[in-house]
Structure 1
């Protein structure tokens, strides 16, 4: 306990000037903080991510990772910038700024499909603070890539780079090569110890697991305005966002009446989340959200002021409006079961008919999702060995709606789980740090039901639930039953912890199997990588 407190004080003394900086969310990075975030001696609000300036204690914990492997005896500018420091770093009494070049260069081989894969990313990040109340962060990436076979098929089907944006290289000779640009920006204002205001174009995550069934960082970045209030052991978040839907016809700028805007059609979202740390062991969370679409040009609805109240139950307002907007409610919980292990879970209810649930007849509109997991640190008494074991499931048609302009998605991808709905998934993730060496292992097994013989079995959230052929008889993983296996292993050597610059060797084994056939991917990659962003491939 004394060592733990001493460590906190040391980190506080070292990083007080940057306490308000925004820390981009990456599961792999945050998992390495399990010892501090889930200790029996602490009471953090761990389910709201990314962490920003208002939660200064957590920020100091995250900053401690930036010391890994640094050698303060290095004197030359080149060695300091390469191994210890940001490319540009200015720390003054009333402001701080850092700037980095973010490379992500990879070469690999998809042996199963005889494809040479590569990634050529040049990016930047800039962040800092202004006074004691403002903090900011921005990143941008220019990318070209050749992906393995299953990712290429995914991109071609959705015209979306997973979690990023649309592919700019849709025509020409080298259509298998993908080209895209991606950027984020966040401005945060900490008014006082009670309120924080955030304006951004980025992602958000709610939960303690690797997946989230309420709001995850799977899809592309989106514009949002967020208000966070903290009162004692309660933290409350209200957020308003705008999403895009490339599945609907592109708005036509040549419309003779000039009624349409340029670009993809848009929809809006309002989200509320209350996180209550009951004590050092138990936390409970309450979530609700509404998705609504812009109507056509003759009666465009836009931002509905009925949903602007930050402290009202959204489902009630949706009913009062007489609307058919998409409401989702949820619960979260975590309990520190023992000194180095925490159990957690989520429940999402999209639509729910109690009498149909208890009949057990597979009613289509009993749309729900459940998560249960265990995570912790120092597994088997090995210091810095972090672990997670998790189960996720979503019934058919969960997150779907009459149209993709109302579903629980953004940019053709899910706002919750990347597999959409109609699935069961088990996964485990292990992370170990030994000095500059990092080791990562992940295994997934899932079972899901694809559409079969032209019938919609409710997995694809972009497909209207009105296309179903019946009302009863839907069971999870029903349809074309498919088994999914995924193994991911990585070994990395950290060059500069300030922006996670590292050499990384990785390998993927993926199998998707059903009665129609089997698709296998065996891939090895090597590269010079950086940043803390999540790039999901496990679907």
Structure 2
């Protein structure tokens, strides 16, 4: 926090709010405006996020025809604090998220009380910095409350403390990004947050559903090729906590290296090649391994090829692709190979270690020629035991959540999303149906829970998607919002959600209504 305040103080000390605005503003694309990259006539690299861009519209502020009060400008048009200079820009915002809701029978009142703050700054076009912090208390719907108590986390937002005599939760979370572009061919990112690889709503390769983690990312740009190498540290919250005995060493850590080569083959086609390796910071006996410097090798698939020869580390490979069918319609998809043997695949007997996942989707913009009416339809399927490993010390997971899909493995899913914007009004509708195979008890492993070791698989052969306790999940949500200030997405929002889960052991039927004053561009995945 001291360093954070020092940065703010230094920037403000040397700022001149009345200076001529000459420096372009660098900002990240958010989920509201990334659509522009898909409908552009050029084929942009859209599958690796976050994406920074230069907002030339903010370089010079036109003189308004009607003078507005400070309160009006800050509420509707500007950041809370803006410092624009010939050399840099600084934006500071307060980010509230206040919600209250009711379940279908009115017996449970839900609420969220979040106070957040953000700072965004850029120096010229080479340096960008952002930091976010949120302090939260909340009481969630029953299904989320049960999940949080079981996993000891709020999805995507970190560990919990009891609040209000155990009836609610207290938690906080933060993120930060430092991006430097020394030359136009290279971008260096140091961050504490999430990353996303894909063109759809879900990602089966690397998603942003989980809690923040530290990472270093190098991205090279050369012609039609974008190549990324990323190193990250994750936390195994399932492991024993040594904090009490070993001076706050905390939970076991694990490391990951990721490579992604995205090639714009033409103006319509992009193909991305991906690999990842996860290795433990220490083994189950506590023997330290630390960062493996051999993984600094930036060549994609080089290390992955070695794992087929019997390495103990966890390797995963994937393919991401998109095709612009029409100027405003894009087809996309993913394929993941976690582990397989070709001869076992060809036998078609459902060997347990044939672990694959695939995705196919389409997104269309300005549907029926209605401006800013956008739709997405997506299918996802993950075979049993995918993303799991012998131990949580090395599986594809961070902070008790998958690094890919929130449903883990052993499922099929269809999701449809429609959004519409009219001036400052925003509407969103989602319908999701999933069919998955759950475990009938804690000691059985049919491949849905990726935190269970795959060595406990039930059957050697005959494994298929949906095996185990057959479960149907329906999730639907409608949201309407009026956006007061698009700079930090301050909005008055009301939402109605419906969730139905049924199998031979459990049947739940939830309807949740909520209304609130919200801000920021954070995405929460509660549709599981």
Normalised by the length of structure 2, the TM-score is 0.91
State whether structure 2 residue 95 is matched by structure 1 residue 102.
yes
| Alpha-carbon contact 1:288-1:327 (below 8 Å) kept | yes
Query: Given the superposition, is the C-alpha separation of residues 72 and 286 from structure 1 closer, same or farther in structure 2, using an over 3 Å criterion?
Result: farther
Distance 2:461 2:265 in 1: 40
Residue number in structure 2 paired with 1:443 = 431
State whether structure 2 residue 393 is matched by structure 1 residue 402.
no
Distance 2:397 2:22 in 1: 38
Query: Given the superposition, is the C-alpha separation of residues 212 and 84 from structure 1 closer, same or farther in structure 2, using an over 3 Å criterion?
Result: same
Larger mean CA deviation between 448-457 and 524-533 belongs to 448-457
Where does structure 1 differ by over 6 angstroms across 4 or more consecutive aligned residues? Answer: none
| Alpha-carbon contact 1:86-1:98 (below 8 Å) kept | yes
Distance 1:394 1:407 in 2: 15
**Paired residues for 1:66-465 under 5 Å:** 73-112=66-105, 114-169=107-162, 174-255=165-246, 262-296=249-283, 299-316=287-304, 318-319=306-307, 323-452=311-440, 454-465=443-454
The Cα shift of 1:72 comes to 6.5
Distance 2:255 2:494 in 1: 40
Per-residue deviation, residues 57-102 of structure 1 (Å, max 9, x unmatched)? xx449x78xx9xx987342111111111000001111111000000
Query: Given the superposition, is the C-alpha separation of residues 22 and 136 from structure 1 closer, same or farther in structure 2, using an over 3 Å criterion?
Result: farther
Per-residue deviation, residues 375-422 of structure 1 (Å, max 9, x unmatched)? 020112211101100000000000000011111010000000000000
Per-residue deviation, residues 108-132 of structure 1 (Å, max 9, x unmatched)? 0012572100000000110010233
The Cα shift of 1:244 comes to 0.4
Per-residue deviation, residues 240-290 of structure 1 (Å, max 9, x unmatched)? 0000011010124525xxxx8611110000000010011110000000000
Distance 1:379 1:114 in 2: 40
The Cα shift of 1:319 comes to 3.5
Unpaired runs of 5+ residues, structure 1, are 1-13
Distance 2:106 2:188 in 1: 48
Question: Number of residues paired by the alignment?
Answer: 505
| Alpha-carbon contact 2:120-2:131 (below 8 Å) kept | yes
Of 531, 534, 538, which aligns to 2:520? 531
| Alpha-carbon contact 1:112-1:520 (below 8 Å) kept | no
Secondary structure in structure 2 of the residue aligned to 1:191? strand
| Alpha-carbon contact 1:494-1:500 (below 8 Å) kept | yes
| Alpha-carbon contact 2:101-2:514 (below 8 Å) kept | yes
Residue number in structure 1 paired with 2:37 = 37
Larger mean CA deviation between 74-83 and 518-527 belongs to 74-83
Per-residue deviation, residues 446-485 of structure 1 (Å, max 9, x unmatched)? 0000012542100001111111232111110111000010
Distance 1:114 1:324 in 2: 50
Distance 1:320 1:515 in 2: 39
Unpaired runs of 5+ residues, structure 2, are 1-19
Query: Given the superposition, is the C-alpha separation of residues 71 and 284 from structure 1 closer, same or farther in structure 2, using an over 3 Å criterion?
Result: farther
Residue number in structure 2 paired with 1:10 = none
RMSD: 2.2
Larger mean CA deviation between 40-49 and 273-282 belongs to 40-49
Distance 2:64 2:435 in 1: 48
| Alpha-carbon contact 2:430-2:477 (below 8 Å) kept | yes
The Cα shift of 1:445 comes to 0.4
Residue number in structure 1 paired with 2:4 = none
Residue number in structure 1 paired with 2:470 = 481
Distance 1:112 1:265 in 2: 42
| Alpha-carbon contact 1:448-1:477 (below 8 Å) kept | yes
| Alpha-carbon contact 1:22-1:135 (below 8 Å) kept | no
Distance 2:368 2:180 in 1: 42
The Cα shift of 1:527 comes to 0.3
Secondary structure in structure 2 of the residue aligned to 1:512? strand
Normalised by the length of structure 1, the TM-score is 0.90
Distance 2:400 2:426 in 1: 34
